[in-house]
Amino acid sequence: MHKDVERILLTEQQIDDKVKDIAAQIDEDYKNTVPVLLCILNGAAVFAVDLMRKLKIDTEIDFMQASSYEDNVISKGTVTILKNTKISLEGRDVIIVDDIADTCVTLTYLLDKLKGYNPKSIKSCVLLNKLDVRKPQEDIKIDYKGADIPNEFVVGYGLDYANKYRDLPYIGILKKSVYERK
Ligand code: IMP
Ligand code: MG
């Protein structure tokens, strides 16, 4: 285990099982169409490509980058689009693939923006969902979800703190001393 990790929340094997479960659901729901997996960079990159490789249906992938955290552990609450999609989403079945639903400021913003491109359908898929963050009235519908996790700052499997730890094969809680000594 990495020295900056407090404890492991999901092992490599557990993540693999969750991604397989999500892939099986998407395979079932998108039998007659080729959905666009819209990966939200950078955090969802690892998850999105693993998911794509586990799907039996045909898919296309595109990437979007939004920023709300920068080097913080708390969301700034405002979203900027740093990279937009290349594929035309008009009339397409779109699945937004993100790493984690925290405040959902990002997902809410992106869902709203993407609706403006007139997709045929749009669904959300996240590997992790943080519990006890959003008030019921702020909640959004997450269509595919890997796991609910406690409200802690986590890293690994694509998730970072100041761009570090994305390469860890597991998901772990980051030691508070790492960001509190800043
Ligand atoms: P939200 O808008 O607060 O739901 O979160 C936006 C983005 O912040 C997520 O897609 C992640 O990339 C990042 N994020 C939120 N929580 C964590 C965390 O615990 N660890 C690492 N990144 C996180
Ligand atoms: Mg992200």
Hey, which of 32-36, 102-106, 134-138 has the most confident mean pLDDT?
Answer: 32-36
- Is pLDDT at 139 greater than 90 in this prediction? no
Quick one: average pLDDT of 157-170? 97
| Residues facing residue 95 across a β-bridge | 37, 123
pLDDT at position 129:
95
- Is pLDDT at 170 greater than 70 in this prediction? yes
pLDDT at position 140:
83
- 175 versus 67: the higher-pLDDT residue is 175
At 19-48, the pLDDT tens digits run 999 999 999 999 999 999 999 999 999 999
**C-alpha dist (Å) from residue 19 to 50, 132, 137:** 7, 23, 28
Enter the DSSP assignment of 32.
T
The pLDDT > 90 percentage for the chain reads 80
pLDDT at position 69:
59
pLDDT at position 132:
83
Q: Please report the sign of the dihedral spanned by the C-alpha atoms of residue 114, residue 52, residue 64, residue 4.
A: positive
- 150 phi and psi angles, rounded to 5 deg: -65, 160
- Amino acid 93 reads D
pLDDT at position 83:
94
pLDDT at position 62:
97
The count of other CB atoms within 10 Å of the CB of residue 63 is 19
Domains of the chain: 17-149 (3.40.50.2020)
β 171-174/154-155 pair status:
antiparallel
Q: Among 5, 41, 100, 131, which is best to mutate for testing ligand 1, by the most ligand atoms less than 8 A from CB?
A: 100
The pLDDT > 70 percentage for the chain reads 93
> Residues enclosing ligand 1, CB less than 6 A?
43, 68-69, 75, 98-107, 153-155, 159
Protein residue closest via CA to atom 9 of ligand 1: 100
At 59-103, the pLDDT tens digits run 999 999 987 655 666 666 678 899 999 999 999 999 999 999 998
- 136 phi and psi angles, rounded to 5 deg: -50, -40
pLDDT at position 134:
81
Neighbours of ion ligand 2 (CB under 5 A): 43
